[in-house]
Amino acid sequence: MSSEPDNSEPLNAEKRRYPRFTLRAYAELQYSTKTWEAHVLDLSESGARIALLEEHLLQKGDALRVHIDLSNVNLVASDKKRLDLHGRIVHVREHVLGFDFQPDTPADKTLLYELLMHIENQ
């Protein structure tokens, strides 16, 4: 994990409210009754870039639930090892999705902030 903000998409940088940080983690995406395995590429307080490992027909605007596996991240304050998020796809570029999200619960919000602080301090 790197603490450097991801500036790989400069055209979208002015739209972002929060800096993105590189994160490599497994995730599960759910849309309706379908589920995909995915990799999280980067993360901020309100968005993520996620690569799907399988073919999909997801489109901008689709509502998703995303579960990020944090079992390989050593967080101090939380025993929770899965970050649960819900939101919408904001862009699709082949197998990479831009995802604008909110944490599912107050515990997920706390876990998200702890994760971001952990990444930033690496």
Give the pLDDT band of residue 49 (cuts 50, 70, 90): very high
CA distances from 115 to 30, 34, 35, 83 (A): 22, 27, 24, 9
Q: How far apart are CA 20 and CA 22, in angstroms?
A: 7
Task: Write down all domains in the chain, each with its CATH number in brackets.
Answer: 18-120 (2.40.10.220)
Q: Is the pLDDT of residue 44 over 50?
A: yes
pLDDT tens string 64-74: 999 999 998 88
Q: How far apart are CA 51 and CA 48, in angstroms?
A: 10
pLDDT tens string 75-92: 877 788 999 999 999 999
pLDDT computed for residue 106 by the predictor: 96
Specify whether the CB–CB gap between 46 and 40 falls below 8 A.
no
